[in-house]
């Protein structure tokens, strides 16, 4: 160590400062320890195979998540669990918006949605092709009996109001009799396998009795 001599008080202070720097114990700086990055839940993908399907058909929803502790899809879908890549089957009856929610071990939740639209084939809709009065006649008491008939397409169920017969299943045509006490309007309703309805009305008129 080199000491600068000086008779002045300032010189003595300078020498002491040099001594302290040269002879003190040195400390090697420590490198900061590398921190482990936090793992957060992520939705990697969520999409339907088909964005639009024909009514009554099925498709699949595909998804991928990372660092998820639990997983659910709303409306509920069977077979859902955390996975990097998985597809599950769905058969929506109408346009449906599905929401995927993933929850991580830290309680953090993330969500993503996907929509499947439904296309309706006009050829499968129910239709009443005829609903008419075939004939009328008097019974033994002089009351008028009307014979009505109908025909339809794509009908799984056939019903009438006011009730004349029990609901028919898979009847493409039919004939029945009514004996109303007054002028009455009958409503024939047919429904197909997907729940679509078709209606037609028929009024049976009786002459006013004076």
What's the pLDDT tens digit per position in 84-125?
999 999 999 999 999 999 999 999 999 999 999 999 888 999
Token code pair at residue 205 = 């008129």
pLDDT of residue 18: 42
Q: Could you report the per-residue pLDDT of 124-171, keeping only the tens digit for each?
A: 999 999 999 999 999 888 899 999 999 999 999 999 999 999 999 999
The dihedral of CA 137, 140, 145, 147: what is its sign? negative
Q: Calculate mean pLDDT across residues 38-67.
A: 94
Per the model's pLDDT, the better-predicted residue between 207 and 168 turns out to be: 168
DSSP symbols for 126-168: -EEEEEEEEEEEE-TTS-EEEEEEEEEES-SEEEEES-SSPPE
Give the separation between CA 135 and CA 145, rounded to whole angstroms.
8
Higher-pLDDT residue of 187, 23:
187
Kindly state the average pLDDT of the residues 45-71. 95
Threshold 0.75, pTM exceeds: no
What does the alpha-carbon distance between residue 145 and residue 162 come to, in Å, rounded to a whole number?
16
Domains of the chain: 42-119 (2.60.40.2470), 123-204 (2.60.40.2470)
Which pLDDT score, from 0 to 100, does residue 207 have? 76
| Residue-level pLDDT at 20 | 46
How far apart CA 105 and CA 92 sit, in angstroms, is 32
pLDDT at site 31: 61
Q: What is the DSSP letter of 169?
A: E
pLDDT grade, residue 36 (50/70/90)? low
Burial of 35 (0-12, 13-18, 19+ CB in 10 A): exposed
Q: What is the pLDDT of residues 8-34, one digit of tens each?
A: 454 444 444 444 444 444 555 666 555
What is the structure's pLDDT at 21?
Answer: 43
């Amino acid at each position: 160590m080199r000491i600068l001599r000086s008779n002045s008080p300032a010189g003595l202070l300078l020498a002491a400062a040099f001594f302290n720097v040269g002879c003190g114990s040195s400390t090697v700086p420590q490198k900061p320890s590398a921190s482990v990055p936090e793992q957060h839940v992520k939705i990697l993908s969520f999409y339907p195979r088909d964005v639009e399907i024909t009514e009554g058909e099925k498709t699949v929803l595909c998804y991928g998540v990372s660092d998820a502790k639990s997983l659910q899809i709303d409306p509920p879908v069977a077979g859902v669990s955390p996975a990097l890549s998985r597809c599950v089957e769905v058969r929506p009856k109408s346009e449906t918006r599905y929401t995927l929610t993933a929850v991580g071990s830290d309680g953090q939740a993330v969500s993503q949605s996907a929509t499947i639209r439904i296309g309706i084939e006009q050829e499968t809709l129910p239709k009443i092709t005829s609903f008419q009065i075939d004939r009328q006649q008097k019974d033994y008491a002089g009351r008028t009996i009307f014979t009505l008939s109908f025909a339809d397409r794509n009908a799984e169920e056939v019903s009438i109001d006011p009730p004349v017969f029990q609901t028919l299943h898979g009847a493409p045509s039919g004939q029945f009799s009514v004996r109303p006490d007054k002028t009455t309007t009958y409503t024939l309703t047919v429904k197909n396998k997907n729940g679509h309805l078709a209606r037609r009305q028929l009024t049976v008129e009786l002459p006013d009795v004076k």
